[in-house]
Structure 1
């Protein structure tokens, strides 16, 4: 069977795309394209790909069936629509774009063409996430009342010692002109998880963010963001992303009266049996002498600390296959089957819409409501 020709555009996170296709016996990587010519040459030499002279040259190559896009978020719309119009299937990194009309135009182009379009949300292929979702869908978990996520790191993303004329091209993530910053690069993954588990689209979002530490002469994207999304069921997503302290790392907690799914480490912590009624708890605490004396109010109940329960693993099968590899395998299979995975398109679109809403809420310092015109 003839191999599927692939071109990879953008070799930052796109390097992972390239390696996934290179490992897949069904594929032949024909072209790479990147502003960093040295990196492009090194990866082209390693994988046997050519270095494309331009995006237009890739579009004209009839032996390219897939274009995998990991370029500036603001370039996605034009590149995807051109690719689809040229008859190419497209894999694109999140966020789909930085403007909602652009995101909708990409989805409309895909629907009209029937070609495969997949957005990079690998949690949809993570087996522990899928098992947790099954338990939610089948009613084992009970209602979801709250989703709490954070993604903490300590670094500014900015590449150093690069030519001045390449500054924005290579450091595009830290400029609002080209990206949604932390909302697009990180929070969009967690918005997708919330939308997916709740099976809802947020009604509105409020948020706050600032550039408090990683300041330089040109960066304008926030280095910490905090957004709260309200969903029709009454549940909330409370999302925090910071770049100034890595201690709490990545956390994605699905919460309800029956327990927590701690998705990032694959565990379920049950809250049953329920705690005893308040009066019984008070009597027990008196007997255990757990009170402390406060300077202004006498005896008071000791604040309950965070639970240190480890809970139970969601899946007993380890090691789990890499979800990033699985998403590319699924993408290739959808092309072979001539069947776009419509739920992934929908999830990618609404995660991008949520990231744009959150970004706008922080920039404008106002509540941003979902507009019915954005539905697909």
Structure 2
């Protein structure tokens, strides 16, 4: 599926349709937006050329609207690797010097979390458009600063919350809004891995530069690196803010000198009584990752692209017969036993979110691939060329980061944290 078919696959031919009103940032993916920039290229600088920066480079090299004109990094090996991918790009080791380059229209920032806000704010004030990796910033104060500077400068700002461009998530939110799963009663999010999250370093002096995720002075750990993706669902799906947050975090297993938690658990309480949870450990991968939306009529497993109805739709006669045999309906023995049996959940295989939503919406979709990253970076390029901000994108990203950071605050301070009203921005 090429990107030109992205909105058509979603049933948004020509940039019109109900979904476009629900997801206004997708305007930057419309046919009209593509025609507006036809033949033009956004002149971009990649700031931070490690693994994520090089991932963006690969996507941009396949994006017709992009031209990588500059690279910037303080770590020479990464800069050399990126330069090999972009032989025509000018290389910088000094970010301030890069900002003076008038050939650069936009920045793609993929650096440690603690540098997100300082570099993004400097870039916006220097007249550059900015794409900054998630999470938005290292502190709640910095998130608000970054938001205020964006409003003040009028430049384009994208934050790398790529699920906002992921077909599975777009379809899932459409199903939720249509009432397909009934009233939402809970959101459960988890991300489990089994690795130390550590990267090899050529010599000890580069430890904190390369493994910045493991240290509190540059990272907020699991909450911002993983959790901000899932916690985005609170704003996107519930269209509300929590009134208070609780959580706990510990270093349970990886006692190797890191000072960010390897185990976190949070609960976000909403005014209507709905709770959203996020749990993550990185010493057990049995359950992997998922975002689950529990409704009175059904359940969505967003990462797994599955929809389950509380009352599964009727199966064919042969499937019903097989199911009855499997459940022992035709056993000769008379039922007898304990008065309690474990409720192990349904064995119903469910159905794909994408095809279910396609049937609901009348669009022709048989599946979805990718995570939205390619669509998002291409949309950013079009916004750089036109100077038009993708609506609602900054606000969604702002709250995703703020929720992650407030969860971390609850852990570190061992207390219930109320949502601070001074960080409410005009949106919901």
Deviations 1:238-280 (A, max 9, x none): 1111100111111111101101011112111000279xxxxxx
* Residues in 1 aligned to 2:238 and 2:335: alpha-carbon distance in whole angstroms: 39
* Residues in 1 aligned to 2:335 and 2:222: alpha-carbon distance in whole angstroms: 42
Task: Find the counterpart in structure 2 of residue 375 from structure 1.
Answer: 424
Task: Find the counterpart in structure 1 of residue 210 from structure 2.
Answer: 170
Task: Find the counterpart in structure 1 of residue 77 from structure 2.
Answer: 38
1:273-312 to structure 2, matched below 5 A, reads 292=337, 299-312=338-351
Among 33, 46, 54, the alignment partner of 1:8 is 46
Does residue 385 of structure 2 align to residue 336 of structure 1?
yes
* Residues in 2 aligned to 1:318 and 1:44: alpha-carbon distance in whole angstroms: 39
Among 266, 271, 275, the alignment partner of 1:227 is 266
Among 353, 362, 372, the alignment partner of 2:411 is 362
* Residues in 2 aligned to 1:129 and 1:121: alpha-carbon distance in whole angstroms: 12
Among 315, 322, 327, the alignment partner of 2:354 is 315
For residue 370 of structure 1, report the CA deviation from its aligned partner.
0.5
1:241-252 to structure 2, matched below 5 A, reads 241-252=280-291
1:132-281 to structure 2, matched below 5 A, reads 132-216=172-256, 218-272=257-311
Q: What SS is found at the alignment partner of 1:56?
A: helix
In 1, are the aligned partners of 2:201 and 2:210 still within 8 Å (CA)? Answer: no
**1:334/1:306 CA distance change after superposition, 3 Å:** same
Does residue 143 of structure 2 align to residue 103 of structure 1?
yes
Deviations 1:316-354 (A, max 9, x none): 334525311011122222333432123110011011101
In 2, are the aligned partners of 1:35 and 1:169 still within 8 Å (CA)? Answer: no
Deviations 1:260-316 (A, max 9, x none): 011112111000279xxxxxxxxx9xx986664xxxxxx331111132221111223
Does residue 142 of structure 2 align to residue 92 of structure 1?
no
Give aligned pairs, total: 358
| TM-score, structure 1 as length reference | 0.90
- Which 5+ residue runs of structure 1 have no aligned equivalent? 275-283, 293-298
Does residue 58 of structure 2 align to residue 19 of structure 1?
yes
**1:361/1:291 CA distance change after superposition, 3 Å:** farther
* Residues in 2 aligned to 1:198 and 1:126: alpha-carbon distance in whole angstroms: 18
Does residue 104 of structure 2 align to residue 56 of structure 1?
no
For residue 12 of structure 1, report the CA deviation from its aligned partner.
2.6
In 2, are the aligned partners of 1:151 and 1:249 still within 8 Å (CA)? Answer: yes
**1:224/1:271 CA distance change after superposition, 3 Å:** same
Task: Find the counterpart in structure 1 of residue 24 from structure 2.
Answer: none
| TM-score, structure 2 as length reference | 0.80
* Residues in 2 aligned to 1:231 and 1:148: alpha-carbon distance in whole angstroms: 14
* Residues in 1 aligned to 2:43 and 2:242: alpha-carbon distance in whole angstroms: 38
- Which 5+ residue runs of structure 2 have no aligned equivalent? 1-38, 314-328, 356-364
* Residues in 2 aligned to 1:211 and 1:300: alpha-carbon distance in whole angstroms: 41
1:66-85 to structure 2, matched below 5 A, reads 66-85=106-125
In 2, are the aligned partners of 1:83 and 1:89 still within 8 Å (CA)? Answer: yes
For residue 134 of structure 1, report the CA deviation from its aligned partner.
1.2
Q: What SS is found at the alignment partner of 1:226?
A: strand
In 1, are the aligned partners of 2:106 and 2:129 still within 8 Å (CA)? Answer: yes
In 2, are the aligned partners of 1:8 and 1:32 still within 8 Å (CA)? Answer: yes
Q: What SS is found at the alignment partner of 1:8?
A: strand
* Residues in 1 aligned to 2:72 and 2:289: alpha-carbon distance in whole angstroms: 31
Superposition CA RMSD, Å? 2.0
Deviations 1:205-250 (A, max 9, x none): 111111011111x310011111111112221111111100111111
In 1, are the aligned partners of 2:41 and 2:381 still within 8 Å (CA)? Answer: no
Instruction: Give the stretch that moved more between structures: 68-77 or 32-41.
Output: 32-41
Instruction: Give the stretch that moved more between structures: 244-253 or 26-35.
Output: 26-35
For residue 2 of structure 1, report the CA deviation from its aligned partner.
4.9
